[in-house]
Amino acid sequence: MLAGLTDRSWLWIAAACYLAGWVSGLVSILRGTRQSGPAINAFIFAGYIFQLVGLGLRGHAVRGCPLGNEFELYQFTAWSAITLYFVVGVTFRSSMLGFFTSSLAAVLTTVALAIPAWDATRRAGIFGGNPWIELHAALALFSYGVFALLALTSVMTLLRHHSLKSKRLGGWFSFLPSIIDLDHISVRLLWTGVILMTAALAMGANYWLRNTSLVHLPKLLVTVSVWAAYATMLGLRVRGLLISKRFAWACATMFGLALLSLWPVNKNHEPVTPPPAAQP
């Protein structure tokens, strides 16, 4: 029965799993217990596998990394964030990062699925048969996943600051990690994201210098702007000029802008075609 499911069906199941992880965490928080960690992680892991199957089917059908429209971009970003969560999540106490990550993944995947227009067409031949461009695109999107996780740790930092300043420490505030732990992981994520995006842009630049007419200028400007913004934030953080709450606000806000940037990034000169038939 499962073998007959379409890529979108698998992705719907994945979104449901992420949503279930979020609900599980919410129930735990409302009850004031810390016992939902394994449940959240199980839902996230299940969602991750289902999403991998869905994206794999889509990738198989389009013969490449599925990054041809907004739907695929959002799905891939959510998947990247979850991948990173499995790497860094173990360093966090309790299930708070899992709760936040499942929330973000649920929102990104559900929104992408719920807007049919985002998957009505997709750009064909976006990689021009060049594996380096495919890697460039995948790395760039993966860095967005890193920035997604950075946005989550930043939101957690802001909540932790708020709870300590307002002296409201009970309830679910008690599950948040310490400010220093959050700061350390945020800085590491920012470094990771900037390095990945730099590598992605370097690959893209190499292609663009030889085929300037094939790259849409707004896409180029927006992508470089996102990279420059994160690189500047990293520079300011390293020099101690962007710290604490201002750093957290910058990271959270910047990710919102980065998500919006996916729309111009997706506009290029490639011919538009319908997505692959909804079949397994």
Residues that bind other proteins (CB under 8 A): 32-33, 160, 164-165, 167, 169-170, 174, 176-181, 183, 240, 243-246
User: Residue 33 or residue 130: which is nearer to other proteins going by CB?
Assistant: 33
Contacts of 104 (CB under 8 A, 6+ apart): 78, 81, 148, 151, 152
Closest CA to 205 of 224, 233, 232, 222: 224
The least distance separating other proteins from the CB of residue 179, rounded to whole angstroms, comes to 5
User: Residue 23 or residue 164: which is nearer to other proteins going by CB?
Assistant: 164
Distances (CA, A) of 150 to 19, 124, 140, 250, 280: 20, 31, 15, 10, 34
SS3 of 148, please?
helix
User: Residue 58 or residue 160: which is nearer to other proteins going by CB?
Assistant: 160
The least distance separating other proteins from the CB of residue 233, rounded to whole angstroms, comes to 14
Q: HSE of 93 in the Cβ direction (CA atoms, 13 Å)? A: 12
User: Residue 180 or residue 277: which is nearer to other proteins going by CB?
Assistant: 180
The least distance separating other proteins from the CB of residue 157, rounded to whole angstroms, comes to 11
User: Residue 31 or residue 60: which is nearer to other proteins going by CB?
Assistant: 31
The least distance separating other proteins from the CB of residue 165, rounded to whole angstroms, comes to 7
Longest dimension (CA), the chain: 59
First to last CA, the chain: 11
Q: What whole-number distance in Å separates Cα of residue 90 and Cα of residue 230?
A: 25
The least distance separating other proteins from the CB of residue 181, rounded to whole angstroms, comes to 4
The least distance separating other proteins from the CB of residue 172, rounded to whole angstroms, comes to 13
The least distance separating other proteins from the CB of residue 170, rounded to whole angstroms, comes to 6
User: Residue 210 or residue 239: which is nearer to other proteins going by CB?
Assistant: 239
Closest CA to 119 of 275, 280, 241: 275
User: Residue 174 or residue 212: which is nearer to other proteins going by CB?
Assistant: 174
The least distance separating other proteins from the CB of residue 43, rounded to whole angstroms, comes to 23
Closest CA to 192 of 232, 246, 150: 150
Q: What whole-number distance in Å separates Cα of residue 9 and Cα of residue 53?
A: 10
Contacts of 85 (CB under 8 A, 6+ apart): 44, 97, 98, 101, 149
User: Residue 53 or residue 176: which is nearer to other proteins going by CB?
Assistant: 176
